[in-house]
Amino acid sequence: MYADSLRRYLLLATLPVLVLVNAGLGVMMADARAKGIALAVIPLVLVVIGSLVASNRAILVYAAIAIGLFKPLPLADPLPLHIGVKIYPSDLLVLLAVASWITAWLLNPEEERPSSLRTRLLGLPLLLFGIVLFAGIVRGHDRYGQQIFGVPSRFVLYAGIAAALTDIKPRAAYKWLTILFYTGTLWQAGVATYRDATGNPSAALSQTLSTGGERVLGGSIAMLMAGALLLALLNLERDRRAGTTALHLLIAVLATFALVSTYQRTTFALISILVPIALLAFRRLPLRVGVVVPLLAPFLVLGVLFIATAVPNFFPTFADRVTATSSTDTSAHWRQKAISSVWDQVQESPLTGVGFGRDASFGIGNVRVNVGQDPHDQFIFLWAGGGLLLLASFVLLLVVFLLESWSRFRRARGDERRLIFWAVSMWFVLVVNSLTGVVLTEPHLLLIFWIVMLLPMTVRPERSGSSALV
């Protein structure tokens, strides 16, 4: 009691001091009054965030996912800091998770200290991966000036988000993930509808697709909409009330619409695999789908007719994307040349890699294209930078994740079982897409990757076996 009162008084005493100090700094450093005011309120914002984090660090997990779900809001962009290294909001979320966990461990009495995740994933496999990764970063720093804190180091550092999952309750996590993904689906469906109606795709996506047409939503949205669709199906199996059933069906339809609007072929193929697996893994789901889909059929037909009328290019563009072959797809040709250019680095030092930070380029006509070291394939990226040793240690991480997830899934029941299935499905979508696009080298997607890797580890095997079937 005394310790709680002391911490509260210290917070109240420190808050106005921090605001006044930063107000002075803001006035001195800013070119305009608005900048000074913004700097002045930073401590207040940090204290508010700190209070939220101290009460429930799980909010950082949901914030990390929201960064990806609510594009095109500029949530994933680097912060406007001129310090020689790019800092992303996802970096701050990981930092807050680790700092708040350490603070809680130091300040709380022993019986109230935060726990840690019980998983082999964060043990020797991660340590081995980190050691080999750091060797590749140091090698690149010496040879090419690769920053110590950059894209490669985030592969390990983002495992620190585990500090925000230590006390998370799987059933509560499943509920909040449902709310978050349903809200994100409504947002993305609205964005796609607006862009289709106005013929005004995002400036960042205005380039023509390699198979014709224009992308309406980004490729990263496809992966998250696949997660929303799977959640809607799992909840359809879970709930039997008419109102919630209608909601799950609506989200499934809107997520499918948003997914198709991305024209992301890899995710199309993956969702065609994951949905049948879900029908097999959850025995009531086929029956529920068989009952409600015929009732929904007239509305689906009307929706298809409306889209075909309002957006005439929607279905032809989709058909062109899924029927294109590598011989007619310029995007596939680009990736082949990009991989070939980075593969030269792999051949130069296949076991230990050439180090991170070395550029690779290839020619298209009279133009040289610089792909950095990531040819839209993060497995080649790791192999080139850290060699076969790094790639093998990364694959070991993935194998350990699958083995532990399967062990917990077999014993889990109800929402815990659904959470594991959903997390592994999202992991599968992210990993496969990392073979054909920029996924794990995007900070916010890499953080989501670590979150779905760690979510199954919140299900404790000794408890899940006795959980009631929901």
3-state SS record for the chain = CHHHHHHHHHHHHHHHHHHHHHHHHHHHHCCCHHHHHHHHHHHHHHHHHHHHHHHCCHHHHHHHHHHHHCCCCCCCCCCCCCCCCCCCHHHHHHHHHHHHHHHHHHHCCHHHCCCCCCCHHHCHHHHHHHHHHHHHHHHHHHHHCCCCCCHHHHHHHHHHHHHHCCCCCHHHHHHHHHHHHHHHHHHHHHHHHHHHHHCCCCHHHCCECCCCCECCCCHHHHHHHHHHHHHHHHHHHHCCCHHHHHHHHHHHHHHHHHHHHHCCHHHHHHHHHHHHHHHHHCCCHHHHHHHHHHHHHHHHHHHHHHHHHHCCCHHHHHHHHHHCCCCCCHHHHHHHHHHHHHHHHHHHCCCCCCCCCCCEEEEECCEEEEEECCCCCHHHHHHHHHHHHHHHHHHHHHHHHHHHHHHHHHHCCHHHHHHHHHHHHHHHHHHHHCCCCCCCCCHHHHHHHHHHHHHHHHCCHHHHCCCCCC
Cis peptide before 72 (omega within 30 of 0): yes
What per-residue confidence (pLDDT) applies to 361?
84
Q: What is the total count of domains within the chain?
A: 1
Q: Is residue 204 part of a domain?
A: no
Q: What residues have CB less than 8 Å from 380, skipping those under 6 apart?
A: 339, 342, 343, 346, 374
Q: Is residue 331 part of a domain?
A: no
Q: Could you report the average pLDDT of every consecutive run of 10 residues in the chain (470 residues)?
A: 44 41 44 48 58 73 93 81 82 88 79 82 94 95 89 95 90 94 94 78 50 74 95 88 84 91 87 91 78 63 59 61 60 83 92 91 80 91 95 97 95 93 97 92 95 94 46
The amino acid sitting at 399 is V
What per-residue confidence (pLDDT) applies to 192?
87
What per-residue confidence (pLDDT) applies to 232?
94
Range of the domain at 19: 1-55
Q: Is residue 38 part of a domain?
A: yes
Q: Is residue 45 part of a domain?
A: yes
Degrees, nearest 5: CA angle 70-88-160? 100
Q: Is residue 4 part of a domain?
A: yes
Q: Is residue 137 part of a domain?
A: no
Nearest to 76 by CA among 86, 380, 363, 213: 86
Distance from C-alpha of 401 to C-alpha of 390, rounded to nearest angstrom: 17
What per-residue confidence (pLDDT) applies to 159?
95
Distance from C-alpha of 341 to C-alpha of 173, rounded to nearest angstrom: 43
What per-residue confidence (pLDDT) applies to 44?
56
Instruction: Pull the structure tokens for residue 210.
Output: 């390699």
Q: Is residue 87 part of a domain?
A: no
Q: Is residue 218 part of a domain?
A: no
Q: How many CA atoms lie within 13 A of 9 on its CB side?
A: 6
What per-residue confidence (pLDDT) applies to 203?
40
pLDDT per residue over 334-385, tens digit each?
A: 888 888 899 999 999 999 999 999 988 888 777 788 888 989 999 999 999 9
